[in-house]
C-alpha cells in the first residue's frame, strides 16, 4: 500500500525529485539461474542495489548544496526486510524502478519496485518491493580513506504523511543498526564439519565460500565493494544450505533486514558462511554471516549478517513441498531454533493481518 502511494505521487514530482528516478531493465539469461533453474535471488538483489545506488547518488549530486561542494558517492547501509512475491524466470525481463523517497541529514531512503515482464505474452508481474538506506560520502575523502558522512539534500515537496512515514522508518532503522551483530555468527562451515555430520542436522548442510574483492566488484577503484555483490554471495550460500538440506529445488522467499556494519574494499577477501537454524513444514531459515579479511594486515571484521528464508519446490509442479525437519543436537542450536520460530510466527501473523 505504501509503495502504491509513492507511485501515485510521481505525477506531482518536481524536476529535482524526478532526477533521482531510475529505471533499469535486463533480460534474464541462463547464467542468471540458480541450482533449481529459476533466476538467482542474488541476481535480483544485485539489480535492486545497483538501481538504489544510482538513485541515491544522483539525488546527492543533482541537489548538491553549499555544504558539499565536491562530488558525492553513496554506500549501502541497510536493506529492509524484503519478500520475493513471485519467482522470475529465464527469458523474462527484469524491470527495476527506484527513487529517493526520504532523506535525513546524512542518509537516504530509496524505494524500489521490481517487475518481471514476459515479453512473449505481454504480461508484467510484481516480484519484489524493497527499501534501501544509503549514506553519502565526499568522493575526494574516500580516496584518502576518510569515511565521514556528507550532508544529504532534502527531498523537496514531500507531503506531511510522506515526511512522517520517512521519519518513522529512519528512526527504526537507526535503532536497529546500532544493535551490535550477533556474537555467535563466527561458526565453522567447512567441508570437514560436514564429513561425519548426522543427516538433517545443522552440520549436515553448513556451507561457505570465499571471494576476493576485485575492481569489478566496486563502483570505483577507491570505493568499497557494492552491497549488491555481497548480497548475491550471501544468497548463493543460503541457497547452498537450503539445497543441501532439502535436496530439491529451492527459492528465496524473504530476507530479514540486512545491516552493513563496515565497508569491504578491493583486495580484501570475504568469507560468507551459512547454517540452517529453523525449519517449518515448508520453509527454512538460514543464518548467513560475512567476514572480511585484509590480506596485508591479517585483520578481520564482521561486515554483515542476515537471515534468509527459503522454500522447497517440487521439480515438476513448482509448488511448495514439505522439507525435512531440522535435527537439533546442542543447546545453542535449540536456542537459535526457538528464537527463529518466534520470528517466523510473528511474521506469519503480520502477513495474516495484512491480508485481512
Give the residue numbers marked as catalytic: 34, 235
Handedness of CA 71, 77, 78, 79 (dihedral sign): positive
Residues in the chain: 356
- Cell representation of residue 203: 552440520
Tell me the C-alpha distance between 59 and 92, whole Å.
30
**CA distances to 29, 42, 85, 107, 272 from 34, in Å:** 11, 9, 17, 33, 17
- The C-alpha atoms of residue 198 and residue 304 are separated, in whole angstroms, by 29
Instruction: Find out whether 245 and 324 touch, Cβ atoms under 8 Å.
Output: yes
> At 166, which helix (H) or strand (E)?
helix 160-177
**C-alpha distances in Å from residue 290, one per residue of 257, 260, 263:** 15, 10, 11
Amino acid at each position: 500500500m505504501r509503495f502504491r502511494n509513492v507511485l501515485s505521487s510521481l505525477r506531482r514530482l518536481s524536476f529535482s525529485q524526478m532526477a533521482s528516478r531510475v529505471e533499469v531493465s535486463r533480460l534474464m539469461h541462463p547464467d542468471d539461474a540458480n541450482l533449481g533453474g529459476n533466476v538467482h535471488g542474488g541476481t535480483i538483489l544485485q539489480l535492486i542495489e545497483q538501481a538504489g545506488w544510482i538513485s541515491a547518488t544522483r539525488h546527492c549530486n543533482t541537489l548538491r548544496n553549499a555544504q558539499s561542494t565536491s562530488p558525492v558517492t553513496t554506500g549501502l547501509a541497510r536493506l529492509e526486510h524484503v519478500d520475493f512475491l513471485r519467482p522470475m524466470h529465464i527469458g523474462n525481463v527484469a524491470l527495476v524502478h527506484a527513487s529517493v523517497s526520504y532523506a535525513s541529514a546524512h542518509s537516504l531512503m530509496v524505494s524500489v519496485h521490481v517487475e518481471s515482464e514476459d515479453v512473449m505474452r505481454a504480461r508484467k508481474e510484481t516480484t519484489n518491493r524493497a527499501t534501501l538506506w544509503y549514506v553519502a560520502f565526499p568522493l575526494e575523502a574516500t580516496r584518502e580513506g576518510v569515511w565521514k558522512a556528507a550532508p544529504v539534500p532534502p527531498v523537496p515537496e514531500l507531503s506531511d504523511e510522506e515526511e512522517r512515514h520517512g521519519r518513522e522508518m529512519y528512526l527504526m532503522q537507526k535503532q536497529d543498526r546500532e544493535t551490535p551483530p550477533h556474537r555467535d555468527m563466527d561458526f565453522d562451515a567447512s567441508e570437514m564439519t560436514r564429513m561425519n555430520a548426522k543427516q538433517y542436522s545443522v552440520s549436515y548442510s553448513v556451507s561457505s565460500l570465499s571471494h576476493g574483492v576485485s575492481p569489478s566488484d566496486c563502483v570505483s577503484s577507491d570505493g568499497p565493494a557494492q552491497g549488491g555483490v555481497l548480497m548475491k554471495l550471501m544468497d548463493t550460500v543460503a541457497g547452498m544450505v537450503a539445497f543441501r538440506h532439502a535436496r530439491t529445488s529451492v527459492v528465496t522467499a524473504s530476507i530479514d533486514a540486512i545491516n552493513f556494519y563496515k565497508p569491504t574494499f578491493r583486495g580484501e577477501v570475504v568469507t560468507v558462511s551459512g547454517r540452517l537454524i529453523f525449519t517449518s513444514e515448508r520453509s527454512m531459515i538460514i543464518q548467513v554471516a560475512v567476514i572480511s579479511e585484509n590480506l596485508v594486515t591479517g585483520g578481520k571484521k564482521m561486515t554483515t549478517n542476515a537471515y534468509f528464508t527459503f522454500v522447497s519446490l517440487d521439480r515438476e509442479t513448482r509448488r511448495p513441498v514439505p522439507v525435512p525437519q531440522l535435527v537439533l543436537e546442542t543447546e545453542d542450536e535449540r536456542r537459535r531454533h526457538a528464537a527463529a520460530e518466534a520470528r517466523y510466527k510473528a511474521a506469519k501473523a503480520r502477513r495474516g493481518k495484512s491480508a485481512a
